[in-house]
Structure 1
């Protein structure tokens, strides 16, 4: 009985803290952190095949399979976040929460010649338009659409 009462009080405390905004394991923040891990490398540390092989493995995109394609954006977080306040455009999935901006990138493409976790990538550095899906208030990048 005492254990049940203690658990009930702990649950009530957690719900109160969530309601007050003091504890926020928000899905949007999780997606933003995932976006940063998968797509942001600032300052740029390369743009070569070796760069892609190293970064894809370091960022966890070579297990359980080799990720076929990934783009690393070589801009600071505030520059990338600012893309989210540009006019909305349609995403590939049809939603209207995408935004476009021109940034420095390295595109990494799997060569298909190796197996995980030792995936082999071809790197290509450029300055190009990217389309980013943004969510939240304030809006933050959560998905690299193209």
Structure 2
């Protein structure tokens, strides 16, 4: 009985960790209504910074799609790519926000936005994305 309870507790903690990492991914990288002119506003309101600090991120990419559409990349809508990443089979519209004032700290982050359509490479845990690896120009 104790072993079963310990296993259940460990499984619960693992699922909670995956959920937390997926929620962070969604906060940092999914925004259907994003535009190149909203980088400062969205990054500030979502409190996006370098992990564990108030330092502004050099770049942050937003995927202009629903969470459900991006989740599908971790399943049948993606293929293995590089080391531990999954590449989307279809391109997504994205906005890349690049820091203009290097070395700045939150809340003084100022970004320039650029839009494009790219394949995305993400790290998945189970059926959910937890890390944005990169965007890819597909040349076949």
- Unmatched segments (≥5 aa) in structure 2: 135-140
Partner of 1:135: 125
Q: Which has the higher strand share?
A: 2
Alignment of 1:23-34 (within 5 A): 26-34=16-24
Q: Name which one, 1 or 2, has greater alpha-carbon Rg.
A: 1
Structure 1 SS opposite 2:24 = helix
Partner of 1:79: 69
- Unmatched segments (≥5 aa) in structure 1: 1-11
Equivalent position to 1:54, from 41, 45, 48: 41
Runs of 4+ in 1 over 3 A off after TM superposition: 15-18
Partner of 1:111: 100
Alignment of 1:9-20 (within 5 A): 16=5, 19=8
Asked whether the 8 Å contact 1:75–1:103 carries over to 2, the reply is yes
Asked whether the 8 Å contact 1:99–1:134 carries over to 2, the reply is no
Structure 1 SS opposite 2:36 = coil
Structure 1 CA distance, aligned partners of 2:8 and 2:17?
15
Q: Given the two structures, how large is their TM-score scaled by the length of structure 1?
A: 0.72
Alignment of 1:39 with 2:26, yes or no, is no
Q: Given the two structures, how large is their TM-score scaled by the length of structure 2?
A: 0.75
Higher deviation after alignment, 23-32 or 52-61 = 23-32
1:39 is displaced (CA, Å) by: 0.4
Alignment of 1:126 with 2:80, yes or no, is no
Partner of 1:4: none
Change (3 A) 1:81 1:115: same
Change (3 A) 1:127 1:87: closer
| Aligned-residue RMSD, C-alpha | 2.6
Structure 2 CA distance, aligned partners of 1:130 and 1:30?
21
